[in-house]
Amino acid sequence: MTSHDGTAATVIKVGEGTHSYSVTVGRGLDSTILTAIPESVLRVLIVHQEPVAGRARALAKALESDGRKAFTVEIPDAEQAKGVETLSELWRILGTQDFTRSDLLIGVGGGAATDLAGFAAATWLRGIDVIHVPTTVAGMVDAAVGGKTGINTAEGKNLVGAFHTPLAVIADLEALDGLPGHDVSAGLAEVAKAGFIADERILEIIEADPRRVLDTRASEFAEIMTRAIRLKADVVSEDLTEKGRREILNYGHTLAHAIERHEQYTWRHGDAVAVGMVFAAELAHRAGYLSSDVLSRHRSVLTSLDLPTYYRKGQFAELREAMARDKKARGATLRFVILEDTEKPVRLEGPSEDLLEECYDAISA
């Protein structure tokens, strides 16, 4: 498969059997979206955020030209979209427009758009198809791949959701060319995470030339994006419902989700994950698992990507309460993904409160 500029697109298979699908990574992939839609589909609901409204309208026009009925609905940006009220509006549209099990949704935008569209698809008529068209870095390497869907509640992030594999994921790198630099940096936190837990080559590429990595048109950027997507595809293919190895993808996320909730979702997810990874590295180091060199490498790699590695002092009590609601927790026991070394993730259960506070002090500024 080739992109419209003649370069080869990469097709990465995820899963086996009825839960299998492909992630296509390349540039200029608009036609790939249309070919991914089965001929039996008569109605398509495109769920999108305001920054990609033009892309959604163009897609709807192409679908109408192809003889289908296409509807668009704009949702709020970022995590503000992932609420019951927005989900209810999607259900209303699906009902009033007579969507059946042979129809589908398309999520266009960041991770919030694909999470929400996926959950609406999972719950409408107990499951209809969805195609994800992520238009952010984190959406491509994380949210859109793996079949996790969900919404937020006042009690925490993604506590209500379902596993619902998409029909296809189209990761068009051209969609990233106009993103603000901070949004690119924030998304690359998830790419760096992939490097720390399983693919050190990603870290080496970042360390060789961070500025090239931050350029969405550079070959280095395309390589680390593709490597991160392939890693996630491999992990979720082995463990669709997070009962085993998939948990390593939560590296840094225990504290990150607590920070996001504490900041009322005004922090970018990747910024929170960057701080969360440094916290996890401090935890691993102080618990005797991780060397000081790898701990230092966390700070140097993330700083080179313009990501934060510290959080405010005096917030531990509130964050500790939020961490208790983490999905990896079992009863009152906190469970963390930590590293023994680069590419060697393990699980740490029930660290002492003193150790947690000590690690928090080490990342406070």
pLDDT tens per residue, range 39-70: 999 999 999 999 999 999 999 999 999 999 99
Catalytic-labelled residue, pool 43, 48, 148, 227: 148
Q: Do residues 151 and 82 touch, judged by C-beta distance below 8 A?
A: yes
Whether the per-residue pLDDT at 2 is higher than 60: the answer is no
The question of whether 253 is a catalytic residue gets the answer yes
The question of whether 27 is a catalytic residue gets the answer no
The question of whether 190 is a catalytic residue gets the answer yes
| Tokens standing for residue 279 | 């916290």
pLDDT score recorded for residue 259: 96
pLDDT score recorded for residue 159: 84
The question of whether 4 is a catalytic residue gets the answer no
| Tokens standing for residue 96 | 């009033």
Sign of CA dihedral 204, 205, 210, 213: negative
* Domain range annotation of the chain: 10-176, 181-362
Catalytic-labelled residue, pool 39, 126, 211, 330: 126
Q: How far lies 140's CA from each of 43, 62, 159, 266, in Å?
A: 25, 23, 22, 21
- Can you say how many angstroms the Cα of residue 30 is from the centroid of all Cα atoms in its chain? 21
Q: CATH number for the 10-176 domain, one of 3.40.50.2000, 2.102.10.10, 2.40.50.140, 3.40.50.1970?
A: 3.40.50.1970
Confirm whether residue 112 is marked as ligand binding: yes
Element (H, E) at 123: helix 111-123
The question of whether 164 is a catalytic residue gets the answer no
Confirm whether residue 135 is marked as ligand binding: yes
Q: Residue 305: what are its φ and ψ, rounded to 5°?
A: -95, 10
Amino acid identity of residue 180, one-letter, is: P
Q: How far lies 245's CA from each of 197, 231, 237, 261, 345, in Å?
A: 11, 12, 10, 26, 10
| Mean pLDDT, rounded, for 214-227 | 97
Contacts for 196 with CB less than 8 Å, ≥ 6 apart: 203, 251, 277, 298, 339, 342, 343
CATH class of domain segment(s) 181-362 = mainly alpha
Q: Which of 6, 104, 105, 1 is nearest to 46 (CA)?
A: 105
Instruction: DSSP for 22-73, please give it.
Output: EEEEES--HHHHHHTS-TT--EEEEEEEGGGHHHHHHHHHHHHHTT-EEEEE
Q: Measured between alpha carbons, how far is 342 from 251 in angstroms, rounded to an integer?
A: 12
Catalytic-labelled residue, pool 242, 263, 340, 343: 242
Matching fold, domains 10-176 and 181-362 = no
Confirm whether residue 79 is marked as ligand binding: yes
Confirm whether residue 81 is marked as ligand binding: yes
Confirm whether residue 114 is marked as ligand binding: yes
Confirm whether residue 190 is marked as ligand binding: yes
Confidence of residue 335 (pLDDT cuts 50, 70, 90): very high
Predicted TM-score (pTM) of this structure: 0.92
Catalytic-labelled residue, pool 68, 132, 253, 299: 253
Whether the per-residue pLDDT at 321 is higher than 80: the answer is yes
Q: Measured between alpha carbons, how far is 230 from 145 in angstroms, rounded to an integer?
A: 10
Q: Measured between alpha carbons, how far is 317 from 155 in angstroms, rounded to an integer?
A: 16
The question of whether 101 is a catalytic residue gets the answer no
The question of whether 298 is a catalytic residue gets the answer no
Catalytic-labelled residue, pool 190, 247, 260, 282: 190
Higher-scoring residue by pLDDT: 279, 264: 279
The question of whether 313 is a catalytic residue gets the answer no
Confirm whether residue 269 is marked as ligand binding: yes
Q: Measured between alpha carbons, how far is 65 from 359 in angstroms, rounded to an integer?
A: 57
Catalytic-labelled residue, pool 232, 262, 297, 299: 232
Whether the per-residue pLDDT at 17 is higher than 90: the answer is no
How many CA atoms are closer than 13 Å to the CA of 153, on its beta-carbon side?
Answer: 7
Confirm whether residue 61 is marked as ligand binding: no
Catalytic-labelled residue, pool 257, 262, 285, 299: 257
Whether the per-residue pLDDT at 164 is higher than 90: the answer is yes
Query: For the segment 67-118, what is each residue's pLDDT rounded down to a tens digit?
Result: 999 999 999 987 888 999 999 999 999 999 999 999 999 999 999 999 999 9
Q: Measured between alpha carbons, how far is 360 from 278 in angstroms, rounded to an integer?
A: 10
Per DSSP, the three-state class of 110 is coil
Q: Measured between alpha carbons, how far is 208 from 161 in angstroms, rounded to an integer?
A: 39
Element (H, E) at 323: helix 316-323
pLDDT score recorded for residue 158: 82
Confirm whether residue 157 is marked as ligand binding: yes
pLDDT score recorded for residue 4: 52
Strands (E), the chain: 10-14, 21-26, 43-49, 69-75, 104-109, 129-134, 148-153, 156-163, 168-172, 335-341, 344-349
pLDDT score recorded for residue 345: 97
Contacts for 39 with CB less than 8 Å, ≥ 6 apart: none
Whether the per-residue pLDDT at 328 is higher than 90: the answer is no
